[in-house]
Amino acid sequence: MKNHREHLILKGSTIREALIQLDLLAKDAIIFVVDKEDKLLGSITDGDIRRGLINGAKIDDKIETVVHPNPKFLCKGEYDVEKMISLREGNFRIIPILDKEAKVVNVINFSEIRSYLPIDAVIMAGGKGERLKPLTDYTPKPLLKIGSKPILEHNIDRLILYGIDDFWISVNYLGEQIKEHFNPRYKKNIVMNFVQEEVPMGTIGAVSKITNFEHEYVLIINSDVLTNIDYEHFYLDFIKQDADFAVVSIPYEVSVPYAVLETSNGHILSLKEKPTYTYYSNGGIYLMKRFVLQMLPKNVFFNATDFMEKLIHDNYKVVSYPLLGYWLDIGKHEDFEKAQRDINQIKF
C-alpha cells in the first residue's frame, strides 16, 4: 500500500514535475493538487495533461493550467457508505479522503482495498492466553504466528482490507511486545493507538478508557478470532436493521441421536427422529453506535456479554449477524493447530 502523499502535488508545481510523479505512480497515475495546508484544489491525470498540451500549454507551465477542479472525494467519517459504493462501482478507483477542514488525510485505492468503512476498530489483546501455555509464557497470544504472521496481524490486515484505518489495541499481559511490534515499524497508512489495562478489565471494560473515537460507529473484536468475515456486509446489515449494537453469531449444530418427543401433560404431541438443532454462539465481534458506549461502566472489569444484557434490559436494539464464513476462536492448543492447517486453505 502506497503512502498517500505519493498522490499529492503542491500547487505551483510544473507540468513536467506532474508528469514525473504520474510516471512513478504507473497504473495508479492520478495526483491531487493541494495547497501548503494540504487542502484539496483539484486532480491531474495523464489525460488532463495531454489535453492541456494540445490546447497550447507548455511542459514548464504551472499545473494550474491543466488541473481538473472538481475531483470526487469522501469526507472522513461523514459520508454515506452508499456513496462510497457508488463511486467504487462507477470505476472511481483512487479517491482522496478529506477531514473537516478539506485537508487530504488519506488516498484510498480500490485495487488494494475492498471498501472504506466509517468505523473505529478496537482489538482486545490484553489476555494472558492461559490455555495456550507454554506458548504464551514469553509471547502474548496475539503475537503467536498463524502461518507467516501473528494472529493480531491477520485481524488488522483484514480490517484494513475494508478501509478501516483508525485502530485501538487494548494491551495488558506482555503488552510492551505488542506495542513494539506494531509501533512504529508497522506502517500501512493507518493510525494505531494503544489502551493500557493496568489490571484485567474483561472483554470490553478497557473500551471505557477511550474518549476520542473518530467515527460514529465502533467495532470491537477479540484478538484471538481468526475469520474471513465481510465487514462491509456486516456494516450494511447493521444500518439496514437500524441497530444500536450487533454481535456476530456463529451457528452451532447439535444432533440428537434419538427420537425427540414433544409432550404436554404426558400426551405425545409430536415426534422428531434424530433431529438436528441449530443454535447461535457469540462470535466475539461487535459493531455498535458510538453513543451506546456511554452506558459502559468506567474503568472496571466488564465483559461484552454483560454489556449486551445491559443494553437489552434498557431497550436498545441489539441484533445478531449470523456469520456464514470462516470463524475460529484460537483459545486452546487444538484450535491453534487447526488454524495452522486452515490458514492456507481458507480464502481470506
Q: Are residues 102 and 132 in the same domain?
A: no
pTM: 0.89
Residue that finishes a domain, picked among 88, 109, 130:
109
Residue that finishes a domain, picked among 109, 135, 151:
109
Q: Are residues 95 and 27 in the same domain?
A: yes
Domain assignment present for residue 79? The answer is yes
Cβ atoms of 152 and 177 closer than 8 Å: no
Length of the chain: 348
Residue 278 has what pLDDT? Answer: 82
Residue that finishes a domain, picked among 109, 135, 162:
109
Q: Are residues 175 and 98 in the same domain?
A: no
Domain assignment present for residue 323? The answer is yes
**Structurally, how many domains does the chain consist of?**
2
pLDDT digits (tens, 9 = 90+) for 69-87: 999 999 998 778 999 999 9
Q: Are residues 308 and 163 in the same domain?
A: yes
- Mean predicted confidence (pLDDT) in 109-113: 94
pLDDT digits (tens, 9 = 90+) for 216-254: 999 999 999 999 999 999 999 999 999 999 999 998 888
Q: Are residues 101 and 182 in the same domain?
A: no
Q: Are residues 261 and 150 in the same domain?
A: yes
Q: Are residues 200 and 238 in the same domain?
A: yes
Cβ atoms of 301 and 238 closer than 8 Å: no
Q: Are residues 185 and 318 in the same domain?
A: yes
Q: Are residues 149 and 250 in the same domain?
A: yes
* Averaged pLDDT score across all residues of the chain: 93
Q: Indicate if the pLDDT at residue 266 is higher than 90.
A: no
Per residue in 313-346, is it b (16+ CB within 10 Å) or e — as a string?
eeebebbebebeeebbbbbeeebbeebeeebeee
The parent domain of residue 83 ranges over 4-109
The one-letter amino acid code at 108 reads I
